[in-house]
Structures are given as C-alpha cells and as structure tokens.
Structure 1
Amino acid sequence: MFASNNLYKIIFERHKSNPHIDELVIISGYLGPKPVQDLKNLPLKVSVYYGMYGSDGINPHLHSKLLQCQAYNNLNIFYCTRGIHSKCYIWKSKGKIIDVISGSANFSMNGLTTPFREILSNVDHSTYNEIHEYENYIKDISIKCDNFISNKNRRHKFENKLSLSTHELVEQTRCRLSLLNKKGEVPNKSGLNWGYSSGNVSPGDSYLPVRKEHLRNHPNLFPPKQQKPSTNTTGRPHRHNDVIEIIWDDGVLMEGLLEQSQDFNGIKYPKAISSSPKKNILGSYLRSRLGLKPTEKVTKQHLESYGRSDVTVSMLTNGIYLFDFSSLDIRI
C-alpha cells in the first residue's frame, strides 16, 4: 500500500482488516487534538507518543486538550523527552506486531486530510523485529502526559522559550480578526450573519473574515490555498480548503476550514474561516457566548454588551490554532 489521500480513514479503519487486532501504537512528531479525541471511538487499546515534545515543548492549550483525552479508558498519551520526528502506526494482536505503516503524515487533521501533502505506506514484515526495538526505545524515553507539570526542567525550558520570543510570536503568529466591517458594523448578510444571505447557506451559518491586512502583517499564519481538495473525516472533499483544528479559549475543540479565496501578491489565499462539517457550528458557538439564540441576527450592540468585537487567532503548531473570544482579553 502507498497512499497520499484519505489517510485519516486508513488510520481509523485499518483494524477492520484483521479481527484479531486489539491494539494500536501511534508515534508522531506532532499531534492534533481532534484525531486524538476521535481515538475514543476505536475498539482498541491505543498508545500515542508525541515525538517533538522533547525539542519543542508543548503549548499549554494543546496540553490541556490532550489531558482531557487521556481520561478515555482505551487511551494513553506519552511525551517523548527527546525530539522524535518519525511517524509510525503499529497494529498489534496480543502484544505481537501484525501490521505497520509509516511515512510523513503527522497524527493531526492537517496531516491526515490534505491530499498529496503527506504519504503513508506499508512496512515490510521482515522489519517487524526492528520496529519492535524502536517502539521499546520510544517507550524508554517517554513520560505520561499527566507528568508534564512535574517535569520541571522541560517546563522551565519551554517557558524561557516563550519569554524570549514573545514579540516574534505576537508579530508572526497572532492577529485579531474583526467581526465588524469597514463601517464599524456587523454585516447584515456576511461574517457572523452569513446565514441571512440569499446564497447556498443555512440559518446560523457564520465565518470569520481574513483580510489582506492580516496576510500582509502575519505572513506565516494563513497558508496559501491548496492545489487539491482536502477531505473531512468521512473522506468528503472540501474543495481547496485547508482543514484546521481550533482550540477556543474556553477549551471547546472545533474542526475548521480556511476557505473562500482572495489574491495577494499573485497567490491565492483563504478569505474566511468557517467550521466543519457544518458552517453553523461556528455561528451557534459564538452566539451562545454572546447569550443569543443559535440563529439570532448579531448586531454591534450585542458585541459591545459582551465586551469584544474581534477574535484573536494564533497558531500553536502547523494546522492547530488557538482562537480567543474572551471578553477579558489581555491586550499585548
């Protein structure tokens, strides 16, 4: 097998090929919270190793989401204390390796749903002994994710890294997406009120606008449009839109899309951020925080009463974002 498409489906349905499979081991340079959360639905014992913790540390928001997943009965999450960039997926039966695939795809939505960006292929049976030795090495250098707080040296190093690069992080990977138009009002039929337009929309549909000033001031935050359509967890195509994972400031996890299109410096970039698989997931969520009904029309007065008229967007790692809509946001 060699695959560069529908990788999410391959990982989550591979066990069906052999009824004796009872365990899955995932070694991945980086992790996304959404696929880790989805592991709870597998009828398998699952161990997940976050490889690049050893060199990059981990953002507290991502760590918090992984801690929540650690509570699932079938799941154990580990952090490698040395930088591991490999991506390896191992299926077992009664402790014995019976299937392995490897390649470039991280265990994240971005890594598993973007066609032709990453690959996975079968590992030959003759190498299973070496795979077993490698897995044991990974085990030996790893700690449970709930030991993160007690790992003082790693925490101190990560905090120093943040303190030394705060200005750079703010400039390159953090921006504010206004919910108001150029007239200072909430648009009647776009943005938060997209569901009120006459297009192919549903009540409550919303999106966050990405403007050229955001692309200009934060060039590393929003990637150019894809050449091939991405897919969701069911394999449904999403045109040429990047799938992202959104962690909100209150801990809510949401699958999103970088969609629509605008030209900037001769390159096509996304013009909006919506939710997936339905556009009204974002609309209902933001309205709930504003104290409104799921499809109620949003006005500037609603935002003023809440105390916020923008959403702060920052990138935790590739394809994983933190969205902040807290009314007590700290301005930097």
Structure 2
Amino acid sequence: MITNDLYSKILLEPAERGGDELFIVSGYASATFARRHLKDLSERKEDTKINLIIGMPKNTVDHNAYLQLHTEFGNRFRGYYLKSTPPVHSKVFTWFNSGKPQEAYSGSANYSQYGFFEDKQRNQMVSDNSIEIKNFFDDLLSSSIFMPHAEIDNSAVFYRVQKVHGSVPAGGVEWIELGKTVRISFLDKKGMLPPVSGLNWGQRKEKRINKGTGEVKYVLREKNQAYLSLKGDVREEGFLPKMAYNFTLLTDDNASFDCVVAQEGRKAIHSTNDNSELGRYFRKRLGLEPGAFVTVEDLERYGRTDYTLSKIDDENFLLDFSVKPN
C-alpha cells in the first residue's frame, strides 16, 4: 500500500518508466491540478497524454478552465463528464506504454491537489490491474460527454456576488461574508495606484547582472505583467490556498486563470502560465491598450477601484470586477 508521496509515485514516476498515456476515472477532479500535472509531465516526457472521466460532475464551475486545457494541450488532454446515473465515486489510474498496459493503481485519492498532497488529506493507493481499469474506463466512456461538447451554464455560480456601487476606501479591505467573499482595493492608503507593482508590475525595469563580466543592465519587462495585491487579513491562510497550491480564478465575464498565492507574506495572486495574463485582462476591461500604464483615473472612469474575491471551494475562486448600472 502506498501512503506517501502519491503525486510522484502514481502520477509522475510511471512516465519516467516509459508510460506515455494515462487513463483516469475520478469521482472529483480539478482543472488546476490537471494543468499542474500536465506541465510537470512535460518536463519528463513531453508527449504524455491524459484521459480523464469525472464520475461525479455536479460541480462544473471550472468548466472553462478545462476547455482551456483542451486548447492549450491539444490531444495531450481529453476530459469527459459522466452523464449517466448512478454517479461513479471511483479513483482509478492506469498507465499505458505504446498502447500496451504498463501499471495501474486504485485507492482513495481523487484527481486533485487535496487528493495527492498529504498536508490536506491522507490517502492510500494500491497496485491494480491495468486491463481491468482500462475496460472500466472504456465502459464509462460510452456514457460520458467530451468536455468541449458539453453545454455548461455557470451563471448560477455568481448569484451571491452582488454588483456594487462605488469602491471600498483606498487601501482597504471589506469582508462581505467573512472567509467567503471580500472586496479589496487596488489603491494604496494614500489613494494612489502603485506605479511599478500590482496592475503596473510590468512597468518596472529589471536588474540583470552578467555573471561573466559583472556588468549591470536594467531592461524593461513585458508591460502587461500584473498581479492582484492582497491586503490585511486576506493574506492569512484559510481563505486562499497555501502558496504551493494552484487554484482556478473564474471571472464575472466568463474568463478563467490558473493562479497561485505568491510573494513573501502572501501579498499577491499571480497567474501561473504567464505573468502578463491578468494585466492584459484588466487593461481590456478598462478599455486600455495592451501594455498601457494604468492610472487611478482609469479605474474611476470604469466605475470602481477595487475587486471582489469569492471562495467557491479550495481550488476555485470568483473574481468580480463588474459595476452595477446606475
């Protein structure tokens, strides 16, 4: 029985032994974990494929994040929702090598960060029969729908995020529901928008040192680079995940980003794929050109100088930047 280091032993090391395709049936799964897994596999074996059936797809809030995985990774990721009853609570994994069974595992770990990392849950896995698990996968596949073909309406997810008038005080934090929903100011306590951090992170110059000559140069960064500043008790663990954990950030206008809590003191939310993603997103919503310097006046003209962050679950959060009509 395997009870520790499940992520490496079940999901990474088999690829190092030659596995090039993984078939998974998991009652619950998360898109942010699938992205992390795909990226980690890419460092070991670039063309490794993952096939996933989610057996209990009641919570599909990260559907758009799954669609992004299909777009970004192509045929390396194929995800399905079980559409028949009863739901399937299994957690089974089988690796194949060039179309032939290699090794398989079953146990208590869902395909998620909380299933495979021991600091949140203790789970166990055991070796199993590759062919039997593949047959089980194929049997469920006939009753499943390919994620890009699924019609998912997540509008109900946003029911509790109230459209707002105005903004919280400069530099402030306002909990709408403690531990669940909070409004956070983009501004500092003096009412200024930081010129080289937060939404303007990419406007700074980066110091680079030539290791051979010791020469120091300052070069411009990609001007769209940005992060969401966290303030006050929002930084404390319990609302947002630990710094090592990825999460999906969904938006009120149907975008999604894979993110982490970052910086010393948990001061920021960064996008994991590209530090410019959040900057491009907010500039577009503000009606600005890509790479533009963002000002307080830009935010005021838009209608708010803060954003709302809501927790759906440990791996999915809502970002609301909408403005209530007058």
Which category of TM-score, normalised to the shorter sequence, fits these structures?
A: 0.5 to 0.7
RMSD value, Cα? 4.7
**Letter in structure 2 aligned against 1:244:** F
Change (3 A) 1:85 1:317: farther
Change (3 A) 1:9 1:279: farther
Superposed displacement of residue 300, structure 1: 0.2
Counterpart among 84, 97, 101 of residue 97 in structure 1: 101
**Letter in structure 1 aligned against 2:51:** S
Distance 1:145 1:198 in 2: 42
Matched, 1:259 2:262: yes
Superposed displacement of residue 27, structure 1: 2.1
Unaligned runs of 5+ in 1: 226-239, 263-269
Aligned position for 2:245: 242
TM-score by length of 2: 0.63
Distance 2:284 2:323 in 1: 18
Between the two proteins, what is the percent identity of the paired residues?
28
Aligned position for 1:229: none
User: How does 1:1-332 map onto structure 2 within 5 Å?
Assistant: 7=7, 11=11, 14-18=14-18, 21=19, 23-28=21-26, 29-33=28-32, 35=34, 43=47, 46-53=50-57, 56-59=58-61, 62-67=62-67, 69=69, 72-73=74-75, 75-80=77-82, 81=84, 82-93=86-97, 97-102=101-106, 106-108=110-112, 110-111=113-114, 116-117=119-120, 123-124=126-127, 127-128=129-130, 131-132=133-134, 134-135=136-137, 138-139=140-141, 142-145=144-147, 148-149=150-151, 166=160, 171=177, 173-194=180-201, 203=221, 204=223, 205-212=225-232, 214=234, 221-223=239-241, 225=242, 240-250=243-253, 252-260=255-263, 270-276=266-272, 279-290=275-286, 291-294=288-291, 296-325=292-321, 328-330=322-324
Distance 2:77 2:296 in 1: 44
Superposed displacement of residue 178, structure 1: 1.9
- Residue pair 1:65, 1:251 contacting (<8 A) in 2 also: no
Change (3 A) 1:277 1:13: farther
Distance 1:145 1:129 in 2: 25
Equivalenced residue count is: 287
Distance 2:51 2:151 in 1: 20
Superposed displacement of residue 90, structure 1: 1.4
**Cα distance per residue 1:127-177 (max 9 Å; x no partner):** 446535653564465444356449xxxx8xx98x869x8489x73533332
Distance 1:128 1:212 in 2: 50
Change (3 A) 1:122 1:96: farther
- Residue pair 2:248, 2:256 contacting (<8 A) in 1 also: yes
- Residue pair 1:186, 1:299 contacting (<8 A) in 2 also: yes
Change (3 A) 1:297 1:136: closer
Distance 1:245 1:8 in 2: 22
- Residue pair 1:33, 1:65 contacting (<8 A) in 2 also: yes
Distance 1:254 1:68 in 2: 9
Aligned position for 1:236: none
- Residue pair 2:25, 2:92 contacting (<8 A) in 1 also: yes
**Letter in structure 1 aligned against 2:29:** Y
TM-score by length of 1: 0.62
Aligned position for 1:231: none
Secondary structure of the residue aligned to 1:181 is: coil
- Residue pair 1:245, 1:320 contacting (<8 A) in 2 also: yes
- Residue pair 2:20, 2:96 contacting (<8 A) in 1 also: yes
**Cα distance per residue 1:186-237 (max 9 Å; x no partner):** 1345433445679989745533222336479xx96324x4xxxxxxxxxxxx
Distance 1:285 1:67 in 2: 18
Superposed displacement of residue 317, structure 1: 3.5
- Residue pair 1:2, 1:119 contacting (<8 A) in 2 also: no
Distance 1:281 1:311 in 2: 17
Distance 2:144 2:135 in 1: 15
- Residue pair 1:34, 1:253 contacting (<8 A) in 2 also: no
Distance 2:239 2:256 in 1: 19
**Letter in structure 2 aligned against 1:64:** N
Aligned position for 1:232: none
Change (3 A) 1:4 1:76: same
Secondary structure of the residue aligned to 1:221 is: coil
Superposed displacement of residue 106, structure 1: 4.3
- Residue pair 2:196, 2:203 contacting (<8 A) in 1 also: yes
Distance 2:24 2:90 in 1: 10
Superposed displacement of residue 78, structure 1: 1.7
The structure that is helix-richer by fraction is 1
Distance 1:200 1:116 in 2: 37
Distance 1:320 1:128 in 2: 32
Change (3 A) 1:15 1:83: same
